[in-house]
Amino acid sequence: MKYIYLDHAATTPMHPDVINEMTEVMTTNYGNPSSIHGVGREAHRKLEAVRQIIAESLHAAPHEIIFTSGGTESDNTAIIETALRMKDKGKHLITTAVEHPAVLEPMKYLETMGFDVTYLPVDSSGRVTIEAFEEALNEETILVSIMYGNNETGQLMPIKEIGELLKEHQAVFHTDAVQAYGSEEIDLQKIGIDFLSASAHKINGPKGVGFLYKREGIRLLPFMHGGEQEEKRRAGTENLAGIAGMGKAVERLSTEAKLQQKKKNQQFQLLILKQLTEAEIAYQLNGSQEQKLSHILNLWFKGVPNDLLLMHLDLNHVAVSTGSACTAGTVEPSHVLEAMYGEGHPAVNESIRISFGYENTEEEIAKFMDILIQTVKRLTE
């Protein structure tokens, strides 16, 4: 029986065009991009062609794109190396309580080195308020790292407004756009971002590859040392096949394609909420329907432990998640929902995340809803 896969916020299946592109590169374009002979030059041309594709998608310059192993490396590089470079100007950092661990863990690491980190709270919708940010910002602040869109609730953060506030401030502005890059139109000419992180496997590309946007004029200490690849900004022979696959995935993300997928996702969300209401299921939307990523829907099923619900859905070949880390078969409480509702709130352990992708169909959603409603009713009898 085929799985109904509704966990695209965790990872996405590779698109057939991506697989074909990677296969072609692995078969015919096997050179080292740093080699000076013809085979190497051809590999280098491919590398730079992808850099151009990604830059254009963000309205950036090609030399502002650094290839990495994914979102975690990009986040760590931007955060840790910026903090170390600017420590003589201050030791205050600002982030949010709802960031991905790839941001929260580097922040905790920097705290052990004497840095002071402010973890901004969020409101009931899961968004950071401008008022809270302005209150936290001070003369010692050297780095601000706030995600573009949350990976559990889908809530979009006020990135443009924060960028405006930082225009005349020394602080460097980083955003983790891993969830948002594939669905939102991001024009770096219009928003004041210095660093942006993205990952290929969230946009139907391969795992183990991503990029970091670094605005021209911003210094960056290299996170990895060795060769002189990526203009001495990231050592190591480039993963050309993976980078080519990422480039093909980005090519699919036209403005029209994003708009069509967004409309499709919104229809899925409305259908799910409508059917739950008609079935008289006790549920609540975590977050707001406004200012959010269209592919993520986080729902609290009152009185239903999410680990039990996940298990029953999995037995029925439905893949969703809690949006939190799963370790050794156990579901940890969501730090995002704890930030929204407080520790011990029932929603923290009674919520699931449903996330859509390009291959999902209305027929799949209808079948999923039959299974979900029957399961919730059975677990609440």
Could you write out the DSSP letters of every residue in 38-56? HHHHHHHHHHHHHHHHHHH
Asked if 155 contacts 287 with a C-beta cutoff of 8 angstroms, the reply is yes
Residue 229 predicted with pLDDT over 90: no
> Which residue, 30, 31, 33, 25, is CA-closest to 228?
33
* Burial class for 132, CB neighbours closer than 10 Å (0-12, 13-18, 19+): middle
Residues 282-341: pLDDT tens digits?
A: 999 999 999 999 999 999 999 999 999 999 999 999 999 997 655 445 578 899 999 999
pLDDT score recorded for residue 60: 97
Two tokens at 142?
Answer: 């050297």
Backbone angles phi, psi at 119, to 5 degrees: -100, 100
Residues 245-263: pLDDT tens digits?
A: 999 999 999 999 999 999 9
pLDDT score recorded for residue 325: 52
Residues 70-115: pLDDT tens digits?
A: 999 999 999 999 999 999 999 999 999 999 999 999 999 999 999 9
Two tokens at 85?
Answer: 């470079």
DSSP-based helix, strand, coil % in the chain, nearest 5? 45, 15, 40
pLDDT score recorded for residue 374: 97
Residues 181-193: pLDDT tens digits?
A: 999 999 999 999 9
* Range 219-222 contact pairs with CB under 8 angstroms and sequence separation of 24 or more: 219/85, 220/77, 220/78, 220/81, 220/82, 220/85, 221/81, 221/84, 221/85, 222/81
Catalytically annotated residue among 219, 326, 362, 366: 326
Tell me the C-alpha distance between 318 and 373, whole Å. 13
Averaged over 228-244, what is the pLDDT? 89
- Domains of the chain in start order, with CATH, are 4-12+254-380 (3.90.1150.10), 16-251 (3.40.640.10)
* Burial class for 342, CB neighbours closer than 10 Å (0-12, 13-18, 19+): exposed
Asked if 250 contacts 57 with a C-beta cutoff of 8 angstroms, the reply is yes
For the whole model, what pTM was predicted? 0.95
pLDDT score recorded for residue 330: 59
Q: H helices of the chain, where?
A: 16-28, 38-58, 71-76, 82-86, 101-111, 130-136, 159-165, 229-232, 240-251, 255-278, 306-315, 335-341, 362-380
What Å distances lie between residue 73 and 7, 80, 163, 172, 289, CA to CA? 22, 10, 23, 18, 31
Q: Across all residues in the chain, what is the average pLDDT?
A: 95
What Å distances lie between residue 162 and 188, 240, 373, CA to CA? 14, 35, 41
pLDDT score recorded for residue 327: 43
Helices (H) and strands (E) in the chain, counts: 13, 14
* Helix, strand or coil, per DSSP, at residue 58: helix
Q: How confident is the model at residue 142 (pLDDT cuts 50, 70, 90)?
A: very high
pLDDT score recorded for residue 329: 52
- 326 catalytic per annotation: yes
